[in-house]
Amino acid sequence: MKKFIAILTMLLTFIPMMARDNEEVDVQGIIFGHLKDSYEWHVFSTNSRDYIIDLPVILYSKVSGWHFFMSDKLEENGSYDGFHISDEGAFAGKLVETLPDGTELKPLDLSLTKVALGVIINCLLLCIIIMCTGRWYRNHKETDAAPRGFVGLIEYVVAMIVDDVIKPSIGKDYRRYAPLLLTMFFFILLSNIMGLIPIFPAGANVTGNIAVTLFLALITFFTVNIFGNREYWKEILWPDVPIFLKAPLPLLPLIELVGIFTKPFALTVRLFANITAGHCIILALTCVIFITANMGPVIGTTMTGVSLFFMIFMNCLELLVAYIQAYVFTMLSAVFIGLSRQEHDGEKKKEITNN
């Protein structure tokens, strides 16, 4: 405890002194620089240089064909081979090609960006975790004692998600969808946690990128609508309601068809907005230290202590949010899949009679 107090006191004294060297703090640039995707990965900085991982840029232009180069080429003069990163407009932050007549053309961008690399890292880490957990079970028998430590934690989480979320929501076909939903849960949870760690290979804002959350929601969307049974589509196209609600004007079927697309939209925005909001708050609290550093030692030290306290609190809260958002996304996906596998009342009665 004494060591912790000593370290905290040193931070309260040192951080404001370090922050006084920065006359202006670009809060907007810091926050949006973390939230937005980029063609490079900034690891850390010192007084002499910035340590950056250059990523491969892969572009296809209808005018000039394929282009392959590293992102450090863009740092030399802001553009390379006729391409530059747009600062404004619909293509802000993306590479565009400047044509001879001065117009800008958006090429097909297949570059390995920071978020894309973060997804790959998280997937590899998740594979390692699952493979190491599976290795324990291959080396032990069913009669052995239950696993402890990290393997026991993974088994507990898997059992909880299957028994409390997947099985009640889907029903008798839950085993068919359990691997998909468990993969989505652990990927979202791991990505949320990795986004809170500011040290490479963590730090990429994966689940705070709407393209990633949209892709995850589309997986649920296609799973629901491709494997939905006859009763699911009957309730959408010809529901059991008074005839004037579905003919001659198909009022209720139109509402149900719209609902098919609003479900993945809700999944996309819910996860994206919650993760983005948490990152913005933590970064804003960090910037308070540097903003108040030039207001004198009393105010600077006091605000540094307040900011550190709320930063620690928000990081602990975001760890809880990381789990809750993964849980909610999995639960809603399981509920949507379960609704698409609903059975006719006659079939339900027959199953109850047989049991």
Predicted pLDDT of residue 221:
95
Predicted pLDDT of residue 315:
87
Q: What is the mean pLDDT of the chain?
A: 82
Q: Are residues 337 and 262 in the same domain?
A: yes
Q: Of 78, 95, 112, which residue sits at a domain end?
A: 112
Q: Are residues 82 and 209 in the same domain?
A: no
Q: What is the pLDDT of residues 36-73, one digit of tens each?
A: 888 888 887 777 777 888 899 999 988 888 999 888 88
Give the confidence band of 355 by pLDDT, cuts at 50, 70, 90.
Answer: very low
Q: Of 44, 78, 112, which residue sits at a domain end?
A: 112
Q: Are residues 79 and 139 in the same domain?
A: no
Q: What is the pLDDT of residues 273-298, one digit of tens each?
A: 999 988 888 888 888 877 777 777 77
Q: Are residues 305 and 272 in the same domain?
A: yes
Give the confidence band of 197 by pLDDT, cuts at 50, 70, 90.
Answer: confident
Q: Are residues 171 and 253 in the same domain?
A: yes
Percent of all residues in the chain with a pLDDT value above 90, rounded to a whole number = 35
Q: Are residues 319 and 179 in the same domain?
A: yes
Q: Are residues 103 and 124 in the same domain?
A: no
Is 95 inside a domain boundary? Answer: yes
Return the amino acid letter for 249: L
Give the confidence band of 25 by pLDDT, cuts at 50, 70, 90.
Answer: low
Task: Report which of residues 30 and 186 the model is more confident about.
Answer: 186
Is 161 inside a domain boundary? Answer: yes
Q: What is the pLDDT of residues 215-240, one digit of tens each?
A: 999 999 999 999 988 888 888 888 77
Q: What is the pLDDT of residues 4-16, one digit of tens each?
A: 444 444 444 444 4
Is 10 inside a domain boundary? Answer: no
Q: Are residues 245 and 260 in the same domain?
A: yes
Predicted pLDDT of residue 8:
43
Q: Are residues 201 and 337 in the same domain?
A: yes
Is 351 inside a domain boundary? Answer: no
| Domain count within the chain | 2
Q: Are residues 338 and 224 in the same domain?
A: yes
Is 36 inside a domain boundary? Answer: no
Percent of all residues in the chain with a pLDDT value above 70, rounded to a whole number = 88
d(CA 171, CA 229): 14
My answer on whether omega of the bond before 201 falls inside 30° of 0, hence cis, is: yes
Q: Are residues 190 and 249 in the same domain?
A: yes
My answer on whether omega of the bond before 264 falls inside 30° of 0, hence cis, is: no
Is 84 inside a domain boundary? Answer: yes
Q: Are residues 317 and 192 in the same domain?
A: yes
Is 196 inside a domain boundary? Answer: yes
Residues 319-337: what's their mean pLDDT?
94
Residue 55 CB contacts under 8 Å (≥ 6 apart), including other chains: 39, 40, 41, 70, 71, 111, 112, 113, 114, 117
Q: Of 80, 112, 144, which residue sits at a domain end?
A: 112
pLDDT of 270 > 80? The answer is yes
d(CA 18, CA 194): 27
Q: What is the pLDDT of residues 145-184, one digit of tens each?
A: 878 888 889 999 999 999 999 999 998 889 999 999 999 9
Residues 92-116: what's their mean pLDDT?
85
Question: 180 is in which domain, residue-wise?
Answer: 114-344
Long-range contact pairs involving 230-238 (C-beta distance under 8 Å, separation at least 24): 231/342, 231/343, 231/344, 232/339, 232/340, 232/341, 232/342, 235/342, 236/260
Is 221 inside a domain boundary? Answer: yes
